[in-house]
Amino acid sequence: MLEPKNHWADTSKEVFTAHRLDDHISADIIIVGGGFTGCSAALEVAKSGAKVVVIEAHGIGYGGSGRNVGLVNAGLWLPPDDIISRIGKKDGVHLITSLSLAPQEVFNLIKTYQIQCNPVQSGTLHCAHSTSGFKDLIQRHSQWKALGAPVELLGAQETQKLIGTKLYYGALWDHRAGTIQPLDYCKGLARAAVAKGAEVYENSPVLSVRKNHALWQAVTEYGSVNAPRILFCTNAYQDKIHQKPRGKTTIINYFQAVTNSISNDQWADILAQGQGCWDTAMIMTSLRKSVDNRLILGAIGTPVGLGRRIHLNWAKRKIKSLFPSLPDVSLEAFWFGEIAMSNNYIPKIQRLGDQSYEIFGFSGRGIGPGTVLGTAMGKYLMTEDEDYLPIPITQGYSERSRAGKTLFFEMASRAFHFATR
């Protein structure tokens, strides 16, 4: 029976648990949300010696950070030229440069704090699902090359050698990138932050936030924290807080399904060097191997109700069409998570009020950007020096037709998965 179960939680090696907040305490900085962004920010603040408290509604990594594919990519989904055309040359180049270094920042943190998250830094493959997809990769390749990035454009045969499927027209191999077990990376960041002096509380949803004179107060059911500064890192998972205005984006669901364990000889020609992959289709598919020899296939879509049958049946067919040499492989579990797509697919740092900020809108690229923006924001909160920030602080984010866009992506993914192999 195919179970709704998160494989990352099932195979987690990092041990992290924290108590519920059941006291009234004070700090220098409150961080709401214990994903990559909140935990990276907390680590940076704690390193400076200031008192930082992270309040997490569920467990560390409950949101996108514990549900994702684990592709540690450089930059954003948008190619570099599109970033520049959306936010201008100065800010665009600054953001691209910061996020080019993001995978290395992630792998350095993993090494420094000995985070048990199976890092593999053999690059990732952006795979062309069609001839037009390959044209897109040619452009991305030339834009990254112009910036001196270590990227390689592969033809169909070279791609087949790395992935073991004939389905792709070629691929862009980014040597900066790699894969991790994302939930364990997040828990490792939380562990490192606590080791540096941060306080982390789990199972403590923040219910309200108010300002008392110069102090922000975040109130949970059993406790509260007072601090002069507050940072919200809740991205797509904005839960229960009654405070407005906060950046609300279009939400797109992305699911992953994991197979039974596949024998080593069957893996011989498949993802032989361990790259994680995703494709150029609008209804994107991702593909990677887990450390326990399972194939993890992901795609846009919500596998509940009718969507469950459509998306999961497609996943079974897709594995067969990618790898006909794996006839006995079956799906064992699936899970899904919410992606916060901002109006221009660029993450935001938003000022909500005096000494109150939020970081959101990672648009499906959050391991590197969440780490970089969280760390940078940690520095900014300690110094108020905007030079640390990869993007300028904005205000008053709004987006129209969010529900319509969410519905469009779900319907398009159902139609696509119903009709394709």
**Residues in touch with ligand FAD (CB under 6 A):** 32-38, 55-58, 62-65, 67-71, 73, 205-206, 233-241, 254, 337-339, 362, 364-368, 370
Mind giving me the DSSP string for 322-346? H-TT-TT--EEEEEEEEEEE-TTS-
Pair of tokens at residue 82:
């599109």
In whole angstroms, how close is the CB of 293 to ligand FAD at the nearest point?
Answer: 19
Contacts of 155 (CB under 8 A, 6+ apart): 170
| CA atoms of 252 and 68, how far apart (whole Å) | 13
Indicate the residue among 75 and 133 with the shorter CB distance to ligand FAD: 75
Indicate the residue among 35 and 307 with the shorter CB distance to ligand FAD: 35
| CA atoms of 285 and 120, how far apart (whole Å) | 20
152 membership: H or E segment, kind and range: strand 151-155
Q: Nearest to ligand FAD by Cβ — which residue?
A: 366
In whole angstroms, how close is the CB of 92 to ligand FAD at the nearest point?
Answer: 19
Indicate the residue among 79 and 370 with the shorter CB distance to ligand FAD: 370
Indicate the residue among 156 and 405 with the shorter CB distance to ligand FAD: 405
In whole angstroms, how close is the CB of 69 to ligand FAD at the nearest point?
Answer: 3
What is the chain's alpha carbon radius of gyration, rounded to the nearest angstrom? 21
Mind giving me the DSSP string for 101-142? SHHHHHHHHHHHTT--S--B-S-EEEE-SSHHHHHHHHHHHH
| CA atoms of 162 and 157, how far apart (whole Å) | 9
In whole angstroms, how close is the CB of 409 to ligand FAD at the nearest point?
Answer: 13
Indicate the residue among 90 and 229 with the shorter CB distance to ligand FAD: 229
Indicate the residue among 38 and 123 with the shorter CB distance to ligand FAD: 38
In whole angstroms, how close is the CB of 128 to ligand FAD at the nearest point?
Answer: 19
Pair of tokens at residue 9:
């939680």
In whole angstroms, how close is the CB of 268 to ligand FAD at the nearest point?
Answer: 25
Say which DSSP state 172 is in.
Answer: E
Phi-psi region of 144 (alpha: psi -120 to 50; beta: other; left: phi over 0): alpha
In whole angstroms, how close is the CB of 57 to ligand FAD at the nearest point?
Answer: 3
In whole angstroms, how close is the CB of 265 to ligand FAD at the nearest point?
Answer: 28
Are the C-beta atoms of 232 and 246 separated by less than 8 Å? yes
Indicate the residue among 269 and 290 with the shorter CB distance to ligand FAD: 290
* Beta strand pairing call for 178-179 and 71-72: antiparallel
Indicate the residue among 89 and 182 with the shorter CB distance to ligand FAD: 182
- Asked if the peptide bond before residue 245 counts as cis, ω within 30 degrees of 0, the response is yes
Are the C-beta atoms of 404 and 378 separated by less than 8 Å? no
